[in-house]
Structures are given as C-alpha cells and as structure tokens.
Amino acid sequence: MRFQRPKFIATTRIVLVSMRIGHLDFDDRPLFLAPMEDVSDPPFRILCKRYGADMMYTEFVSSAGLLREQEHEHQKLEIFDEERPIGIQVWGGGIDEVRNATPMVDAAGPDVIDINFGCPVRKIVQKDGGAGVLRNLDKMKRITAAVMEEATRPVTVKTRLGWDDDSIHIVDVARMLEDMGVAALTVHARTREQKYKGDARWEWLRTIKEEGTRDMPFIGNGDALDPEAIEAMFEETGVDGVMLGRGALGNPWIFDRAKKYMETGELPPPPDWEERVQVVAEHLSLKCEWLGERTGVMEMRKNYSSYFKGFRNASTLRHELMQPETKEGVLEVMLNFKPDAPDIQVPAAKLPEETADPDAVDTKKPDVPDDLPSPGGDGASEEVGTKKAELPASMAS
C-alpha cells in the first residue's frame, strides 16, 4: 500500500533536478544521513555508506569542547576517505567561540561544515546553541558569518521552522542564508517547541522551496521514516534531498530500500534475521576497533533495541545482549539466539576455535543471502557476506 499523508497532499508535482553543494554533485533525489549524537559515528557511517547514503554528517561537535581540548569532541572530528562526501556539524552559542573553533573543524578536512541551528535539547538551547538561536535571528546571522569567514570549504545550515508557532520565520531565514552564500539548507519541519512530537509539517517544506530558496539546495527532514515516506516527501514538497535521522536508527538498509522503491515502485523486503545479525555483528566489531573492545561493547548496547525492534522475543535478546562485557560474549549470544523459539533459552555454546580469540576480527558469522545489497544498491555484495569487518586503515591505527 502506497504511503499517504492525509493532512497534506500536493496538488501539483514539482519537477526535481540534480543538486550541487559547493564542489559536490548529486544525482536526482539524494539521501543524507543526519548528524545524530551517539549515533552518527564512523562505524555506523560506514554501514550507511555501504547501503547507499549519498552524504553523511558527523555527530554534532561542540565549539566550546574543541576550544577546551576535550578528547571526546576532538574524536568526533575523525573522518575517513571511505566516507566521503561528509560534513562535520558544529554548534555553539557564542559568536567568538564558534569563530575560534571553526579552523579546527576546517583542518579535519570535511567536504562541508554544517552549522547546527536545530537541536532542541534544553542544555544546548539554554546556551543559545542549536534551536536556541531561533529566538535571535540576528545572532544566527552573525554566527553563520563567523563560520563562513573562517572556513575554507562550503558552509551549510540545519535548522527548524522556528522557536514556536508564533515565531515561524523560516522563509525569511532561508532567504537570508542564501543571500549570505550558505551552500545548502536543511530544515526539520517542526518547531523547537514541538521537539519530535506531532507530525512534521511538510506543507512548510513546500513553502520554503517555492518562496524561500532560489538556487540554494534545500533538504527536507522530519518523519521520513520509511521508503514510502521518503518518496512522499520528495513528491509532496519538491525538496532537492531528504535527510534521514530516526528512520536510519538500527536501519542502515533504509537508504538502499528507499532508492529501489523510488526507482521501481516495488518495496524491497526488509532484511531477514540472518542479514540483520550479520550487520549488527559487523557494527559491533567496527565499534570495538574504533573505541577498544570494552568501550565498544558498552557503546553498542544502545543500538540493539533499534536493530531488533519488531522481531519475536526481541526484548529477551536485548536483555541477553546487555550481559556480556566482551565482543566474543555478545557474538555468542547473537549466533545462538533463535527468534522463533517458543521459549528461548540461550545455550552456553562456544564460537569455533579459530575465532575464539576475542581480538580476532574474522569472526564466524551466519550465512548471508546471496542477494544482499551491494554498496551501490544493485547485485550481490561479496564484501558483506564473506569479508571481515574492517575500518579504514587510518581508523584502525
């Protein structure tokens, strides 16, 4: 059944063309991975790139944290050629603070620098960061100018409709940013007051496209949670690209599935249990390579709920996956779990001898269907089914 949003149906179709951000050219209907804290790190970005993400953004980086030499913030600047094109997103509530941090971001070598004017989290907006600046559009303009003055690469912006329903000035904001030379604009179709509640107001995306932007690429965000909704956003609003946030959580396949759906009109089946376990195991291995085994195992725990949502006995599996403190222990649980068993008991099975070493990368994994999507989205993927999980050489060092 085709996806429909009864609250807003476009009466005319906008013709979509390819888009360009600075030196980057994109095909028709590109899909972007949103900057998400504790989600959009290199291991997850590598998986999303494999499954067809056209461009990705890092977790948002604190200007103040960079200036204070906080290790966690500097770690977010790590990007790798295999991920390109990629943008680093920066946030800060102080004009000089953002200005002084921008050269550090620029030196990391992203394809673009993105400014976060959209995060609704209280501790950020209280500092005039993220969506907090929507209460002071003159300050938004000055922060944007400060970043553009220090950057040697294109600057983009991500924001929301406004602070609340009484202060939606997004059309004027879009015009202002384009006049300043911003290379692209992404808008989450909710106000800060809404946060993530209620429906995203796609009618505003169409208004921004028709009345706010001229030549500046415009990317829509909000409630693009599945392939049908992604196509609907393109069709109804005329946006040049769609940015996926919550729809990609535990779901790197969404990029490939959405592209195939838009090309053929047929919805590809979701990944089966074996493929899902394969990718989760690889995600875990990448995490452990990047962060070290103990930290990688702990950090990965927050992802299991999204990956296994909707499967029978998923809550039992999530509970079991929270217990091991080693990669081998987690893999043992996953490889022995039977989702269709009426009363699941996880056996104390051992991994094969050749992979019992917790530091071994080439861990045995379940068989994967021959038609597993390739990085480009077509044909079989030998890389996913037969090769070990590996970070780029520069990341593993």
pLDDT at 339: 78
pLDDT tens for residues 25-84? 999 999 999 999 999 999 999 999 999 999 999 999 999 999 999 999 999 999 999 999
Determine the Cα angle at 286 with ends 322 and 267, to 5°: 85
Whether 145 contacts 177, CB under 8 Å: no
Residue where the block lists tokens 């490889």: 335
pLDDT at 361: 37
Phi, psi of 29 (to 5 degrees): 60, 55
pLDDT tens for residues 130-155? 999 999 999 999 999 999 999 999 99
Whether 214 contacts 269, CB under 8 Å: no
CA–CA distances in Å: residue 126 to residues 15, 94, 132, 134, 148: 41, 12, 7, 12, 24
Whether 182 contacts 114, CB under 8 Å: no
The residue among 311 and 374 whose pLDDT is bigger is: 311
Res 349 pLDDT > 90: no
Percent of the chain with pLDDT over 70: 81
Which residues are tagged catalytic?
119
The tokens describing 357, both together, are 């070493």
pLDDT at 390: 59
Residue where the block lists tokens 């673009």: 112
Helices (H) and strands (E) in the chain, counts: 17, 11
Tell me 157's DSSP state. Answer: E
14-28, 121-135, 213-227, 316-330: which has the minimum mean pLDDT?
Answer: 14-28
pLDDT at 141: 98
pLDDT at 312: 85
Res 388 pLDDT > 90: no
Residue where the block lists tokens 């989600």: 39
Phi, psi of 95 (to 5 degrees): -65, -50
86-90, 91-95, 348-352: which has the minimum mean pLDDT?
Answer: 348-352
Res 313 pLDDT > 90: no
pLDDT at 109: 97
From the list 350, 360, 304, the residue with the least C-alpha distance to 327 is: 360
This prediction has a pTM of 0.82
Check the CA dihedral 103-106-108-113 and report its sign.
Answer: positive
Res 2 pLDDT > 60: no
**pLDDT-based confidence at residue 5 (cuts at 50, 70, 90):** very low
Radius of gyration for the chain, computed over Cα atoms and rounded to the nearest angstrom: 21
Q: What's the CA gap between 10 and 14, in Å, rounded?
A: 9
